[in-house]
Amino acid sequence: MVLKEMKSTLPPGSYYFSGNEAAAEGAIAAQCGYYGGYPITPSSELMHRIASRFRETGGVFMQMEDELASICSVIGAVWAGARAMTATSGPGFSLMQEAIGYAVMTETPIVIVDVQRVGPATGQATRPGSGDMMQAKWGSHGDREVIAISPWSVQEMYDQTINAFNLAERYRVPVILLSDEAIAHLRERMEIRERVTIFNRRKEKGAPPFGAGDDGVPPMPAFGEGERLLVTASTHTEYGIRKTDDPLVQAKLSSRLHKKIVNKRDEIIEYENFYIEDAEVVVIAYGFTARSSLFAVERLRQEGQRVGMIRLKTIWPFADRLIRNLGTKVKKIFVPEMNMGQMAGEIMKYTPCEVISFSQTNGEVIYPYAIMEQLERLL
Amino acid sequence: MATDVKQYLRPEAPPMPFCPGCGDRILLRLILTAIDELKLNMDDMLFVSGIGCAAWIPSPHFNADTLHTLHGRAIAFATGAKMFNPKLKVMVISGDGDLADIGGNHLIHAARRNIDLTVICANNMVYGQTGGQVAATALKGILTATTTAGNYYRPFDLCKLVNAAGAIYAARYSVTQPTLLISSIKKALQTEGFSFIEVISPCPTQFGRQNRLDTPKDTFKFFEDKLITEEDAKGLSPQELENRIITGEFSNGRS
């Protein structure tokens, strides 16, 4: 059986964690056995907790010399049989992009937590932003599909980190947890259940490690299992033989890497609806901003306004069908974001209905009253 | 010396890509000979390489687990694999541009951490695959696609570099010294901790052409004339040693 139930690594009950600590615990609960990282604000507490907790769980922790080495060591560890992760913030996430492309091309399941801070460049290291939404999608050269998730609470930093490991294993793809400084440093109560469900790595002796039909996911072998693996991020056949000038092999591989995610998007994508049955104006929000948005929407509902909200839990692959459908039913879509409208632009691609982007990039979270004020003008 | 290395080659691999006279093809044979003499089991071995001609020595030709990585990052990938599964015997094979230019930081950090890796750096002093540009290991004065008036800068002494960072075993030999090189590879493979061999591996196509060395034989002679043993180098001044290539073992016995 591919799914297995495991006992949680921490005793069940309520905990008062920061988002970063919760993500570290989620990784441990998901049987993460290797962490390679490099310090960067505002993600470092995640690494601190892993470093000390791995001494109890037997995981291998490496503080590497830079972000390039961190993510490359993670990929190496995964091929040696580990479930592995790293965490970083914008500048480090930029440095990791080439290796994310490598992980996509070699179908290496890795988890990256990107605790976003406001940029560009060094920006304000201790202040939140959502400026990496598009970098998560387009950060490497060449078309590449990854899965990206946006948690909105400490509970979700835990749950979605476990989910990230499961998705990474199921689809053999990098999964990025697009957190931000506000969620990562927020402390609130969260629950740890008695058991967690883990997706077990699929093994099939002698099966092609890089071939699985038109949109399939091959089994995932490891070094040292006698498979004599040939792993390369150059264009390769289903057994890993490099083919640097064969258009058919290139077309087949790049198409499958795309389709194995996009064709399965209905299984991958998660979102949450609030008050949308009769809504004329719908807020689409994610991450910390969804908390402010929900507060604003509930206040306006109390005043009898027909406003609703959809919270995107999965950012990539994008919920295009959801938006297409929504656009035929509502008058306006309002998208508050801690960036210059990155997801608003994506939403506009899929609906002719009016999409209003509300940007704030001053390094502060967007307050509920700011969203209320904007919505009142639209209603 | 007549080891049948075919048994270690992947049967389904395409023909080797090396140019006529390439030192890397010789190095491929010498590495497999050392493995054969030590009777190592290829199922326990992992070969990690970066980007460049020398990275194609193990991938796809060695019939073992091979990881062909990003440019410069072979040692970082190898570190993760070795740290998670210490049972793997991990050898990194790559070029000087890959390991010393773009990947130099990972090289010294792996030596500092004393990760149990054997790193073989095929040094041809140029970027062979991209058109013969200068590398950080190039001797002063040599002509390359990007130093058409001769290389202005000093080369890295890679053995000194990794020794200063804490390598357990460091050596430099040329592919023209096969017996010494095989024995050095065997020593490196038997060393517990970080071991490093810089292998002078001439590139007739890029280096030779740029430096007006008409045949592979001329390119090999160019390097052979610069070789000097550690013993013979003793007592010579830095000026006398400029543009000489000192061969030998430079282990500092640290742990």
B134 - beta bridge partners? B126
DSSP type of residue A233 = S
Percent of chain A with pLDDT over 90: 97
- B61 touching A (Cβ < 8 Å): no
Is the residue at A217 inside a domain?
A: no
Q: Are B72 and B103 in contact (CB under 8 A)?
A: yes
One-letter amino acid at A197 equals T
Q: How many structural domains comprise chain A?
A: 2
Is the residue at B1 inside a domain?
A: no
Mean pLDDT of chain B: 96
| Cα gap A289→B137, rounded to integer Å | 52
Over residues B167-188, mean pLDDT: 98
- B68 touching A (Cβ < 8 Å): yes
Residues of B within 8 A of A80 (CB-CB) are: 46, 80-82, 84-85, 88
Looking at A117-131, A226-240, A289-303, B238-252, which range is the least confident one? B238-252
Residue A330 belongs to domain spanning: 270-378
Domain co-membership, A175 together with A304: no
Over residues B130-158, mean pLDDT: 97
Is the residue at B254 inside a domain?
A: no
Domain co-membership, A159 together with A291: no
What pLDDT is stored for residue A1 in this prediction? Answer: 52
One-letter amino acid at A139 equals G
What pLDDT is stored for residue A7 in this prediction? Answer: 83
DSSP type of residue A12 = S
- Strand ranges (DSSP E) for A193-270? 195-199, 230-232
Q: Which two tokens stand for residue B69?
A: 């990585």
| Cα gap A2→A4, rounded to integer Å | 6
Instruction: Give B182's contacts (C-beta < 8 A, 6+ positions apart).
Output: B30, B33, B34, B37
- Closest-CA distance, B227 to chain A, in angstroms, reads 34
Is the residue at B14 inside a domain?
A: no
pLDDT for residue B1 is more than 60: no
Mean pLDDT of chain A: 97
- Closest-CA distance, A249 to chain B, in angstroms, reads 15
pLDDT for residue A110 is more than 90: yes
Instruction: Give A370's contacts (C-beta < 8 A, 6+ positions apart).
Output: A292, A336, A358, A360
Phi/psi of residue B148, each to 5°? -75, -15
| Cβ-nearest to A228 among B65, B76, B80 | B65
Q: Are A374 and A358 in contact (CB under 8 A)?
A: yes
Domain co-membership, A193 together with A292: no
Is the residue at B245 inside a domain?
A: yes
The radius of gyration of chain B's CA atoms, rounded to the nearest angstrom, is: 17
What pLDDT is stored for residue A3 in this prediction? Answer: 82
Is the residue at A110 inside a domain?
A: yes
| Cα gap B8→A225, rounded to integer Å | 17
Contact B85 A98 (CB under 8 A): no
Is the residue at B10 inside a domain?
A: no
Contact A224 B109 (CB under 8 A): no
Domain co-membership, A79 together with A164: yes
Is the residue at B2 inside a domain?
A: no
- B150 touching A (Cβ < 8 Å): no
| Cβ-nearest to A72 among B77, B84, B87 | B77
Helix (H, G, I), strand (E, B) or coil at B75: helix
Residue B122 belongs to domain spanning: 19-249
User: In this predicted model, what pLDDT tens digit does every residue of A273-304 receive, in sequence order?
Assistant: 999 999 999 999 999 999 999 999 999 999 99
Phi/psi of residue A342, each to 5°? -65, -50
| Cβ-nearest to B14 among A82, A232, A241 | A241
| Cα gap B223→B200, rounded to integer Å | 8
Is the residue at B78 inside a domain?
A: yes
Over residues B183-196, mean pLDDT: 98
Q: Are A100 and A5 in contact (CB under 8 A)?
A: no
| Cα gap B169→A156, rounded to integer Å | 48
- Kindly give the pairing relationship between strand A111-118 and strand A175-180: parallel
Q: How many structural domains comprise chain B?
A: 1
pLDDT for residue B234 is more than 60: yes
Over residues A205-210, mean pLDDT: 97
Q: Which of A167, A199, A231 is the last residue of a domain?
A: A199
Is the residue at A78 inside a domain?
A: yes
pLDDT level of residue B167 (50, 70, 90 thresholds): very high
Domain co-membership, A135 together with A20: yes
- Closest-CA distance, A30 to chain B, in angstroms, reads 17
Contact B83 A34 (CB under 8 A): yes
| Cα gap A157→A174, rounded to integer Å | 17
- Closest-CA distance, A212 to chain B, in angstroms, reads 20
What pLDDT is stored for residue B255 in this prediction? Answer: 44
Task: Look up the CATH number of the domain holding residue B172.
Answer: 3.40.50.970
- Kindly give the pairing relationship between strand B45-49 and strand B89-95: parallel
One-letter amino acid at A171 equals Y
What pLDDT is stored for residue B254 in this prediction? Answer: 52
Q: Would you say the ipTM is above 0.90?
A: yes
Burial of B41 (0-12, 13-18, 19+ CB in 10 A): exposed
| Interior angle at CA A225, CA A222 and CA A228, nearest 5 | 80
Task: Look up the CATH number of the domain holding residue A60.
Answer: 3.40.50.970
Residues of A within 8 A of B114 (CB-CB) are: none
Q: Which two tokens stand for residue A83?
A: 């479930």
Nearest residue to A268 via CA among A211, A316, A204, A337: A316
Helix (H, G, I), strand (E, B) or coil at A347: helix
Integer angstrom CA distances of residue B118 from A311, B48, B112, B171, B184:
50, 10, 14, 11, 11
Percent of chain B with pLDDT over 70: 98
Is the residue at A224 inside a domain?
A: no
pLDDT for residue B90 is more than 90: yes
Torsion angle defined by CA atoms of residues A18, A23, A25 and A29, in that order, rounded to the nearest 10 degrees:
150
User: In this predicted model, what pLDDT tens digit does every residue of A181-205 receive, in sequence order?
Assistant: 999 999 999 999 999 999 999 999 9
Q: Which two tokens stand for residue B244?
A: 């000489």
Task: Look up the CATH number of the domain holding residue A328.
Answer: 3.40.50.920
Q: At what angle do helices B104-113 and B74-84 cross, to 10 degrees?
A: 30
| Cα gap A300→B129, rounded to integer Å | 64
Is the residue at B243 inside a domain?
A: yes
- Closest-CA distance, B158 to chain A, in angstroms, reads 19
Q: Is the dihedral of CA A350, A352, A353, A358 positive or negative?
A: positive
What pLDDT is stored for residue A2 in this prediction? Answer: 74
- A377 touching B (Cβ < 8 Å): no
Helix (H, G, I), strand (E, B) or coil at B19: coil
Contact A81 B85 (CB under 8 A): yes
Q: Which of A199, A222, A255 is the last residue of a domain?
A: A199
Is the residue at A288 inside a domain?
A: yes
| Interior angle at CA B21, CA B18 and CA B24, nearest 5 | 50
Phi/psi of residue A317, each to 5°? -65, 150
- Strand ranges (DSSP E) for A94-201? 111-118, 124-128, 147-149, 175-180, 187-192, 195-199
Is the residue at A220 inside a domain?
A: no
| Interior angle at CA B174, CA B171 and CA B176, nearest 5 | 145
Q: Phi-psi category of A123—alpha, beta or left, where left has phi over 0 and alpha has psi -120 to 50?
A: left
pLDDT for residue A228 is more than 70: yes
| Cβ-nearest to B84 among A64, A81, A234 | A81
